[in-house]
Amino acid sequence: MVNQTGKPIKLMKIKLITFQLLFFLFSYSYAQVVLEANGAGDTYELINSVLANPGRSIVEVPDCNHNDFGRHIDEVFDNELNKNVFRFFIHVTPDNDRCQKFDRQRNEIKSFDDSPENVKANIGETVEYNWKFKLDAGFKPSSSFTHIHQIKSVGGSYASIPMITLTLRKSNPDRMELRYTPTNDQNTLKTLNLDTLKGLWVSVKEVIKFGDNGFYFIEIRKISDNSLLFNYSNNAIDMWQDGAQFARPKWGIYRSLNNQQDLRDEEVRFADFSIEENPASLSIEDLKLKADKIQLVPNPVSSIVEFKNANPTNFNKVELYNSLGKKLSVKDRLTNNSMDVSGFAKGLYFIVFKKDTLTTKVLKCYIK
């Protein structure tokens, strides 16, 4: 593990423009916010530009007591994903919790009061969260807690207690725990041997209907082969803490310093955060459409792109848009599981899968 080097460079705005295009194209179906790493430099500013209102910060890092290291979140190119990703650093010493608490360490990003409305969840809303992460093959969790993701309430009597937590725990064997707290009584819903995750890039999909009679769904898949590593769902679960103003997500490393001898300096990689709000009327059956793991193969493509893992019963219309938002004709170009894109100009396109009027999937397609 080494310190950051080099001077910050200006950010490219292509990712933001892409998101704005997607928003205007498909806002009638859902609102989506995307946070993607785009290169070295100005990482905190990039995170805040997506998850915070202008002039505010939602990055919680231990820089105050360890500024000689530099920023505890940066961006690097990851050869396995073939793209830029976020690196979250935590050190056994001298890192702490923002110079406020010294029995624990926090390096997290979140949405909060100082965030746009479309990254905060209100009662009655259904929200889908997606992200990727990778633990080092030698990762060592705390025996008390090592949180890497939380869904927390803001306001009300239970605001200090997360509703949902993915925590890593030293045990025999070490494990990941899915924890649930409707009030102040924490329960472990399911566990996974931590060795299943170590050294691998995995993708996480989490869908929550927020309300007293809500639902919760999560799955974790190995990115290299899309195999399912972990899943849990509950169609009748209390997903709203009394008195809450809204709920919001957190990602990063938040760990106890009890038994420091069990810990080591860690680097956790994250990528491709997405927060997607769906209409309150969307049902669990509709959301199962969105869980379909369609992939475009090959991508980039020059002629025929295949819809890998596609279930044709989950969509009845496929549309193609260019980077300017213009809908293109795909007449005589479609089969049940592929599209012929030969003849289109090189560039970025969007393939949109629909079930009647509901957009169930939007995928980027690069034509070479």
The CATH number covering residue 42 comes to: 2.60.120.200
The reply to whether 301 and 264 lie within a common domain is no
Pair 188, 83 in one domain: yes
pLDDT band per the 50, 70, 90 thresholds, residue 294: confident
Does any domain span residue 343? Answer: yes
Give a yes or no: residue 3 inside a domain. no
- pLDDT tens for 310-346 read 877 778 889 898 877 778 999 899 987 899 999 999 9
- The answer to whether position 4 is within a domain reads no
CA atoms within 13 A on the CB side of 121: 30
- Three-state DSSP at 348 gives strand
pLDDT band at 357 (very low <50, low <70, confident <90, very high): low
Distances in Å between the Cα of 156 and the Cα atoms of 114, 160, 242 are 18, 9, 6
* Separation CA 90–CA 108 (nearest Å): 10
Tell me what the mean pLDDT of segment 351-359 comes to: 74
One domain, residues 256 and 320: no
Q: Of 39-48, 81-90, 162-171, which range is least confident? A: 39-48
Mean of pLDDT over the chain: 87
What CA–CA distances, in Å, run from 177 to 129, 147, 188, 211, 227?
18, 9, 6, 23, 20
Residue where a domain stops, chosen among 236, 264, 290: 290
User: Both 137 and 230 in a single domain?
Assistant: yes
Residue 58 pLDDT: 93
C-alpha to C-alpha distance for 147 and 141, rounded to whole angstroms = 9
Q: What total number of domains does the chain contain?
A: 2
Domain span including residue 306:
295-367
pLDDT digits 0-9 by tens, 236-260 = 999 999 999 999 999 999 999 999 9
Rounded Cα gap, residues 38 and 75, in angstroms: 7
Q: What is the CATH number of the domain that holds 351?
A: 2.60.40
Least confident range of 132-136, 220-224, 230-234, 285-289: 285-289
Q: What is the pTM of this model?
A: 0.71
Rounded CA gap, 3 and 138, in Å?
20
Name the band, by pLDDT with cuts 50, 70 and 90, for residue 292.
Answer: low
Average pLDDT over residues 89-102: 96
* pLDDT of res. 290: 52
Averaged pLDDT for residues 23-48: 74
Contact 217, 189 (CB under 8 A): no
Of 290, 309, 343, the position where a domain reaches its end is 290
